[in-house]
Structure 1
C-alpha cells in the first residue's frame, strides 16, 4: 500500500477552513483511506483522475482535495474550492 504524505501546501490550504469544513474534511479523508484499503469507492467521494498523476476527490459540493500519485506515495497537495484547484492546475501544468 502506498503511504500518504501531507504536503505543507495542503496544511496551509486547510488553515482557512471553518470548523464545519474541517469536520467534513476528516470524514472525507476517512472515506478516502477506506477506498485505499478496500478498493471500493464510497458514494459521494467523487474520486477522479485529472491528469496522468493528479487526482481529486470531493469534501462537499464546494470543496475538493488534490492528490498527486508518485512512485510509492500519494501526496495530499491542496484542499480548496474549484477556483483554487483550477489555479493550481494552471500554475503547475
Structure 2
C-alpha cells in the first residue's frame, strides 16, 4: 500500500493548532497500522462515504477524508464536521 498527502491536506492540516495536528497524525498512524495488520483500532471511526472516498475521525469534531484507489491511499482534507460537509458537497 502506498500513502500520499495531497497539497489540500497539507494546507488544511497546517491551519490547525498543534494538538489537533498531533491527533490527526495519530489517527493516520492507526489507519496505516490497520491496513498493514488488518486489526482495526477502537475509536478510529472509519466510514465509507461514496465511490473511493472514506473518512476517519481524529477527535469528536474533526475528520480526515481520504481516497483509496488500487494500492494507493491519498489523504485529501482534514477539518471539522462543517468543513468536511462543505467539501463533500463539491465532489
Whether TM-score is above 0.5 comes out as yes
Question: For 2:34, what is the secondary structure of its paired residue?
Answer: helix
Gap runs ≥5 in structure 2: none
Q: Distance in 2 between matches of 1:26 and 1:48?
A: 18
Tell me by how many angstroms 1:72 deviates. Answer: 2.5
The CA distance in 2 between the partners of 1:11 and 1:40, in whole Å, is 27
Structure 1 residue runs of 4 or more that deviate by more than 2 Å after TM superposition: none
**Normalising to structure 1: TM-score of the pair?**
0.92
RMSD: 0.9
Alignment of 1:6-17 (within 5 A): 6-17=5-16
Q: Aligned residue pairs: how many?
A: 91
| TM-score, structure 2 normalization | 0.94
Cα deviation per residue 1:19-57 (whole Å; 9 max; x = unaligned)?
111111121111111111111110010001000211000
